[in-house]
A = this chain, B = another copy of it.
Amino acid sequence: MAIKVYGSMLSTATLRVLLCLTEKDLDFELINIDLAAGEHKMPHMLSRNPFGQIPAFEDGDIKLFESRAIIKYIVRTYVNKGTDLVSNDPKKKAIETMWMEVESQTFDPATVGLAWELCMKRFLFGKKGNQTIVKEEEKRLERLLDVYESRLSESKYLGGDSFSLADLNHIPMIKFLMDTQTKEVFEAREHTSAWIADILSRPACLKVFGIPAY
């Protein structure tokens, strides 16, 4: 039975799951949910995620939501498939987990407003973002990226020497923002910029972002 992902190519959380499945060389079926029509809040989706968010995920009788839980399930279940996305070394794993939490607790909250103003308003409603909000949020992102720049000046990837879920988790949001004016904020930082070029050029990334949005 194929793995099913109910989600949208406009959703960073959906893309996180598709990137993980593709890195792990797993087949999946993407069932597109129409965000603009509010399909994620409709009964057939609320039965899959009672909080009304996407993606929802099915692998046989396993039914999950929350993208960061889904990818952990995937890497635990399909250990011997595709790319190793977590370290087996307990100390390295602890550092990778820490940077996964930084993405979740700090990077995502600092970028979600930019993604809304600069991407989602355009995708969903054909509107431009509010530049006052964008400038404020970019200042916040700059302070955050100074810490990333320091980390990436001493370590090729966030979790250490190898690409891991800690890096993968950042890809969807960075990919969206690199198509906007915020690209300049990332590119002003040498090591961050090299890291972004590296992770966005991975075959799995090129493959996933080649999937049509509709």
Residue of B nearest to A103 (CB): B66
Contact between B73 and A105, CB atoms less than 8 A apart? no
Interface residue stretch chosen among A89-97, A175-183, A188-196: A89-97
Q: How far is the CA of A100 from the CA of B65 in the complex (A)?
A: 11
In the complex, which of the residues B65, B70, B94, B147 contacts A51, with contact meaning CB atoms closer than 8 Å?
B147
**Residues 33-61 of chain A, each 1 if its beta carbon lies under 8 Å from chain B, else 0:** 00000000000000000110000000000
- Tell me the interface secondary structure of chain A in the complex: helix
Q: Which residues in chain A, 52-98, are within 8 Å of chain B measured between CB atoms?
A: 62, 64-66, 68-70, 72-73, 76-77, 90-91, 93-95, 97-98
Does residue A102 face the partner (Cβ distance < 8 Å to B)? yes
Asked if A142 is at the interface of the complex by the 8 Å CB criterion, the answer is no
Q: How far is the CA of A72 from the CA of B66 in the complex (A)?
A: 18
A102 touches B147 (CB 8 A): no
What CA separation (Å) do A100 and B101 show in the bound complex? 12
